[in-house]
A and B are shown apart, each in its own frame.
Chain A
Amino acid sequence: MKTEISFILNGSEVKVTVDGHLRLIDVLRDTMSLTGTKEACGEGECGACTVIVDGRAVNSCLYPALEIEGKNVTTIEGLRMPEHKLSKIQQAFVDHGAIQCGFCTPGMIMSAKALLDSNPNPSDEEIRDALQGNLCRCTGYVQIVEAVKRVAKQLKGKR
């Protein structure tokens, strides 16, 4: 059974027709061709598929596509800045060597964004807690936490 739904995707309203058994990640990657969001474990352990729904980080591999109706979804593609510039969080990951193979990076960045959007001045513990659901098998987490701390500092300077 196909159902038409509309939702906000990276700031624009979109309409899609989806089957009941599909998940949000299927719609993002296969219907919308937004392949920045990755699927690795497919069971909510690794966080590679993290996107932001109504301000909260969620695993798009466990999110029924039809539940997205009327909601506001931000994916890694939504962080794109004018003239192909990177957002602050993305640039901080590059600067701190927080990326190796890169497969976990989009999810990691979306978790970091959800944290900083709601808590611009997080403690180390709060950063680690927010990123706990994102596994990186290459670099370890020190550089990643430092990158997030760096962005928090920049935000602080701005206020």
Chain B
Amino acid sequence: MRRFDYLRPKTLKEALQLKKTIAGARYISGGTDLIVQIKNRELQPTALISLRSIPELAPIEVNGGARIGALATISDIIQHQELGHNYPVLVEAARSLGSVQIRNVASIGGNLCNCSPSADMALPLLVLEAKVRLQSAKASREIPLSEFFRGPGESCLASNEILTDILLDPPRQKAKAAFLKKGRVKMDLAVASLAVLLEMEEGRCRKARIAAGSVAPIPLRLFKVEALLEGNAISKDLVSKAQQLARDIVSPITDVRATEEYRRQIICVYVKRGLEKILG
């Protein structure tokens, strides 16, 4: 690998300051994506600024809602009992991410900031309507995760900002969610994936949230499918309409892992399976 310096600031303030002073520096958290990119020369940073020694980025706090520090590892999330109890879909997705060795190091913030269309943690967080907190030297802002992604490898995170926390509202009693992921073997990147959250009341869908992975330039909320379901009883006919609509909305590509048509087909099937899984 090309040489670079590796810096380990102890505070957020110091980390933000360092980035300003070193041209071509990148932040690193778990590094399980970043180091591969550097090795493949997709990135050639002059320095890496590690966020791993900053204690304020680590904790997971569940208190009604939840605050997940960006540096929490995927294994931390799986092992956090309260988080798993309140947001089971989040833990389900976490279990599907990579291998044990990757989950032990990869961070939830890194999974989001890497901005892969296949990011496993993005889907449950999108249907749970998570917010992310972005911190610069001068200000902090909170935005819905659905507005965070811009394209493969691109987000609305400015170069002088750090994603510090993921924020979740308290779980709603009637909400149920499901996560589905298609890979060749379990630890693969998703060929296609889907998360669904439904809130039913008196036989009607009061709230629907659906997000799809690996079928668009970003992890995608399917707003139109949500709107189609909301306010209605979920009949067989409505499910077919939702499937067709989802198939039309997504814009997958053909690559080494699957063809465009196959990915559309998976999403189409997963919309039905996801709804069935929740409705029983």
- Shortest B85–chain A CB gap in Å is 20
A63 touches B6 (CB 8 A): no
CA distance A56 to B28 in the complex (A): 20
Q: Are A19 and B3 in contact (CB under 8 A)?
A: yes
Q: Assuming A20-B3, A57-B100, A59-B105, is B39 touching A43 (CB within 8 A)?
A: yes
Q: In whole angstroms, what is the CA distance A119 to B249 when docked?
A: 44
- B78-100 CB mask vs A (1 if < 8 Å, else 0) is 00000000000000000000111
CA distance A66 to B35 in the complex (A): 14
* A42 and B39 contact, CB distance less than 8 A: yes
**Which of A44, A50, A58, A130 has its CB near the most chain B CB atoms (within 10 A)?**
A44
Asked if A63 contacts B105 (CB within 8 A), the reply is yes
Q: Mark A54-83, 1 if CB is under 8 A from B, else 0.
A: 001111001110110000000000000000
Determine whether the beta carbon of B101 is less than 8 Å from that of A44.
Answer: yes
CB <8 Å contact, B36 and A21 = no
In the complex, are the beta carbons of B101 and A133 less than 8 A apart? yes
Taking the complex as formed, is A95 at the interface, i.e. its CB lies under 8 A from any CB of chain B?
no
| Contact of A20 with B102 at beta-carbon distance under 8 Å, contacts A42-B39, A64-B28, A67-B50 already known | no
- A124 at interface, CB cutoff 8 A: no
Q: Is A13 an interface residue (CB 8 A)?
A: no
Q: Is A111 an interface residue (CB 8 A)?
A: yes
Nearest residue, chain A, Cβ from B47? A20
Beta-carbon contact of A133 and B36 below 8 Å: no
Q: Are A66 and B6 in contact (CB under 8 A)?
A: yes
6 closest residue pairs by CB, A with B: A133-B99, A20-B6, A56-B104, A43-B36, A20-B5, A133-B101
Residues of B within 8 A of A (CB): 1-8, 28, 31-32, 35-36, 39, 47-48, 50, 52, 75, 98-102, 104-105, 185-187
